Amino acid sequence: MKIVIVENPRPLTAEHYNDVANAPLSASLNCGYALAVARRAGWNTAYLDFTASNPDAASIAETILAEDADIVLLHWVYSWGHEELVRSILELLRRESAAKLGAFGLFPSLSPSCLLQFAPQLDFILAGEFEDTLAELLPLFAEHPTVAALPGVVLRSGKLVPRPLIADLSLLPVPDDVGANVGYTTLNIGASRGCYGECSFCFIHRYYGCSRRRARSSASLERELEVRLSRRDIGSLYFIDPTFIGQGEGERERVREIGRMAGRFGLPFGFETRVDTIDGELLATLAGLGATSVFLGIESGCDSVLQRIGKRISTGQIRRAVRAVRDSGIELHLGFIMFEPDSTLAELEENYNFLEEMGLLDDHELTANLLYHNQIVLHGSAAWERFGGEGRLLLDERLPFEARYRFRDGRVEQVCAAMGRLTSGYFSTMAGIMQNRSAAAEGCGAQNRTGDPDGTVNKLLKDAFRSLYRAAQTLQSQAVADVESEYAGRLSATFCCYPPVLCGN
């Protein structure tokens, strides 16, 4: 028997240029685990990655058909408006093959019924944590080639019976190393699953069906490292756990132990964690053991917003955490939602002042990121239900599984849209600059302009943001449009030595 695991094509679109990843980082290991589970069940496996492929349904379907598999299992990640393309591929597979067609991962788990309706070619979906479901399904399928109605399997007929979470993560097989990650010298690895938080915008607790964090044993982590390090040259580790550090002294000691283990392998490491799990002492220890980067989802500089999104942290805790990271010498990366849907103009200003006070607006790329991110609403999320219930969802038939929403304050919406266009222009211009850097720099005699050595670009982005929310306070929409136009022109002029999108040269 053979299973082929397929990553769907998801071409980058201008609309989503600066949007946060369309699946949690932990999803980067989904295909590797699915392949390892299938082989452990005695199946032959193949992996096909069309993430960055040209959107040509016929040739993609042909490649999948050539595997002659009994099951085609699609790791269907939000494809930013290219869902129709995925459906066309499934249609071709359905026509040419008797293989059972399934989907798994975050997106199918959040929207199983809707996805089965959208793609009638799909036979089944593996909802939520899928490894145990797949491990039970494959031997049964080998006996009778039909997809059994097991817990965790969504069929067209019948209701989903949720599968209990894996009791001992240490028993999972070592995931295959596949996909884009293989091109990097950093190894993504999971030391725990889930999160005890319940932030309103997050998918983690929805995917696992609860707000619970499970850690695996250090011994199993070490075994996995030994296997995966023997496969290719690795220069560092990245723990993809939603929150690498849990609560309590036992957890703190556990991450110290993991740090010592990484040290034994001679590997620096990065991780993501909640603000309320760290302090100066722990970070200093982890830095000494080789921690080089940490991602903190601080989300807001306003206590009122933090409360609204259920983050369960305060700005005081964020301040302390950011300072502790800086003192430790570990590189800091941040998640921030500037435009939370219920924000007021005063909260935008509070956010801005917070970021400025914390010295987080000194680099143009970080500034562009922090001053723009809004919240995307994905089908099946709590936000979709809430905004749908409040009549605030703005649907677009080209994008069946995502939506924009009406802000509570229309002026915040205006500022958000204007900043979105300005930063989108900025990011596409920067990408163009990086691509054409040598030629462009030679053409205009500029040196290292992308580094913004005099801070001009950074200052323009900050001034644009402040001017926009001040213009919005005047209640004149033309005032906002005028500010946007002025700053688009000024950014364009600043970039005009290059072949950017903004200046159109």
Contact residues: ligand SF4, CB under 6 A? 195, 197-199, 202, 204-205, 242-243, 274, 297
Residue (274 or 392) nearer to ligand SF4, CB: 274
Residue (152 or 297) nearer to ligand SF4, CB: 297
The token pair that represents 3 in the structure block: 């299973």
Find out whether 286 and 330 touch, Cβ atoms under 8 Å. yes
Find out whether 14 and 428 touch, Cβ atoms under 8 Å. yes
Residue (87 or 214) nearer to ligand SF4, CB: 214
Residue 417 per-residue DSSP state: H
Q: How far is the CB of 176 from ligand SF4 (least distance, A)?
A: 25
Residue (204 or 457) nearer to ligand SF4, CB: 204
Q: How far is the CB of 241 from ligand SF4 (least distance, A)?
A: 9
Residue (240 or 403) nearer to ligand SF4, CB: 240
Residues ≥6 apart with Cβ < 8 Å to 158: 149
Q: How far is the CB of 104 from ligand SF4 (least distance, A)?
A: 20
Q: How far is the CB of 276 from ligand SF4 (least distance, A)?
A: 9
Q: What share of the chain is helix, strand, coil (3-state, %, to 5)?
A: 50, 15, 40
Find out whether 244 and 254 touch, Cβ atoms under 8 Å. no
Find out whether 341 and 375 touch, Cβ atoms under 8 Å. yes
User: Strand 377-378 vs strand 393-394: parallel, antiparallel, or unpaired?
Assistant: unpaired
Residue (100 or 274) nearer to ligand SF4, CB: 274
Alpha-carbon dihedral angle through residues 7, 10, 12, 15, given to the nearest 10 degrees: -140
For the chain, the C-alpha Rg in angstroms (whole number) is 24
Q: How far is the CB of 198 from ligand SF4 (least distance, A)?
A: 6
Q: How far is the CB of 300 from ligand SF4 (least distance, A)?
A: 12
The residue behind tokens 């080998």 is 142
Find out whether 125 and 154 touch, Cβ atoms under 8 Å. yes
| Rounded Cα distance, 286 and 289, in Å | 5
Q: How far is the CB of 462 from ligand SF4 (least distance, A)?
A: 26
Residue (195 or 245) nearer to ligand SF4, CB: 195
Find out whether 129 and 107 touch, Cβ atoms under 8 Å. no
The token pair that represents 222 in the structure block: 């070490």
